[in-house]
Amino acid sequence: MQTPILSLNKAGKEYKKVHALKSINLELQQGEVLGLFGHNGAGKTTMMKLILGVISPTHGSVNVMGMAPDSKEAWNIRKKVGYLPENVSFYDQLTGLEVINYFAKLKGFFNKTGKNQTTDLLEQVGITHAMNRPVKTYSKGMRQRLGLAQAFIGQPKLLLLDEPTVGLDPIATQDFYNSVDQLKAQGSSIILCSHVLPGVERHIDRAMILSSGNMITTGTLSELRTQANLPISISPHGINGFASIDDKLKHFLSPDQNTLLVPEQEKLSVLKQLINLENLTDISVESASLEKLYQYYLTLGKENKTPAVSKELN
């Protein structure tokens, strides 16, 4: 059985009487991308700090690549971990290239060919044109790109990204996700926090949703959809007014009168019925999006109900 690159076993963090994170269980395998979602103050950043070893758990344990990240022995694994905080900050007087060279030296990746490697990183995030300019002249989006470059140093085995697309334009955002996909293909494990859910959905293997320090649920999107049992949206094209004369279809009609909201178990029978209708030109079928799943499970969390799909370690 493959040893997980990261595991949390009932890990939690308290500050006096504040429970920032409560008994979190997680295993992350090599080459797996986890989407970590939750409202502000849900515990996402606290969880990342525990994984980085910046803080120690109040109870439970955290293991990264075979050791506790807050231990003295963990110095050797830190070069294999990349991190992008939500708010990046660099020395304003240094140029972009000097910043990346500095971080590459800190992580032990700057050798005789280091300059070429760091230049390649800046090219990967699209700021080679400004690499010799002081960081104080950079826009917010350029600083974010520079932050991504430092997070990618050394092709980390574990990459923690906290709101990585903040300040990025659509093209830069797509370039970023291409980089994530490439690192995943090379075997990197990634935890990705984002409030921009539509962009994340295609790039994660599993999702974890936190609320007020609690893990509400975790699982693949398929598992979360099955557990939530949210309706599937079916939109037929080329037909007008069909639902008003068909009792079964009318039952599923959405308020906008253009879409059918159909339970998963009814999908095939509805599709068969639609295919037999005249003038049908196309059918669009859309499962519940990550955004809808997030809203559903967050509501459950507020009601203190934990879905059965949540997977806890024994």
Q: Helix H segments across 161-302?
A: 170-185, 197-200, 221-228, 247-252, 267-275, 290-302
- Indicate whether 183 and 259 sit together in one domain: no
pLDDT tens digits along 277-295: 777 888 888 888 899 999 9
Mean pLDDT of the region 7-26? 92
- Indicate whether 108 and 249 sit together in one domain: no
- Indicate whether 66 and 15 sit together in one domain: yes
| Residue 242 binned pLDDT confidence (cut-offs 50, 70, 90) | low
Residue 263 domain-assigned (yes or no) = yes
pLDDT tens digits along 117-132: 788 889 988 899 999 9
Looking up residue 149, the CATH number of its domain turns out to be: 3.40.50.300
CA angle (32 as vertex; 29, 36 as ends), nearest 5 = 105
Residue 127 domain-assigned (yes or no) = yes
CA angle (209 as vertex; 208, 213 as ends), nearest 5 = 115
Residue 176 domain-assigned (yes or no) = yes
- Indicate whether 74 and 175 sit together in one domain: yes
Q: Is 128 exposed, middle or buried (0-12, 13-18, 19+ CB in 10 A)?
A: middle
pLDDT for res 312: 40
pLDDT tens digits along 93-110: 999 999 999 998 888 876
Residue 307 domain-assigned (yes or no) = no
CA angle (147 as vertex; 8, 170 as ends), nearest 5 = 100
- Indicate whether 138 and 272 sit together in one domain: no
The boundaries of the domain holding residue 205 are 6-225
272 has a pLDDT exceeding 60: yes
> Lowest-pLDDT range, 16-20, 60-64, 244-248?
244-248
pLDDT for res 116: 64
Q: Give the domain-ending residue among 209, 225, 241.
A: 225
Mean pLDDT of the region 131-156? 91
The per-residue pLDDT of the chain, averaged, comes to 86
- Indicate whether 112 and 194 sit together in one domain: yes
User: Ranked by mean pLDDT, which of 6-15, 243-252, 305-314 comes out on top?
Assistant: 6-15
Q: Give the domain-ending residue among 225, 246, 266.
A: 225
313 has a pLDDT exceeding 50: no
By the 8 A CB rule, do 59 and 90 touch? no
Which of 312, 313, 307 has the alpha carbon at shortest distance from 216? 307
Residue 204 tokens read as: 């994660």
| Residue 314 binned pLDDT confidence (cut-offs 50, 70, 90) | very low
Number of structural domains the chain divides into: 2
- Indicate whether 186 and 251 sit together in one domain: no
- Indicate whether 146 and 252 sit together in one domain: no
Q: Give the domain-ending residue among 183, 205, 225.
A: 225
By the 8 A CB rule, do 161 and 132 touch? no
Nearest-angstrom CA–CA distance, 85 and 191: 12
Residue 33 domain-assigned (yes or no) = yes
- Indicate whether 161 and 251 sit together in one domain: no
Residue 103 domain-assigned (yes or no) = yes
Which of 305, 130, 283, 70 has the alpha carbon at shortest distance from 211? 305
pLDDT for res 274: 83
- Indicate whether 110 and 134 sit together in one domain: yes
112 has a pLDDT exceeding 50: no
Residue 1 domain-assigned (yes or no) = no
pLDDT tens digits along 72-88: 888 888 889 999 998 88
- Indicate whether 214 and 253 sit together in one domain: no
- Indicate whether 218 and 248 sit together in one domain: no
Residue 295 domain-assigned (yes or no) = no
Mean pLDDT of the region 220-234? 88
- Give how far Cα 52 sits from Cα of 107, 115, 161, Å: 14, 27, 12
Residues 138, 139, 143, 148: what is their CA dihedral angle, to the nearest 10 degrees? Answer: -120
Nearest-angstrom CA–CA distance, 136 and 90: 9
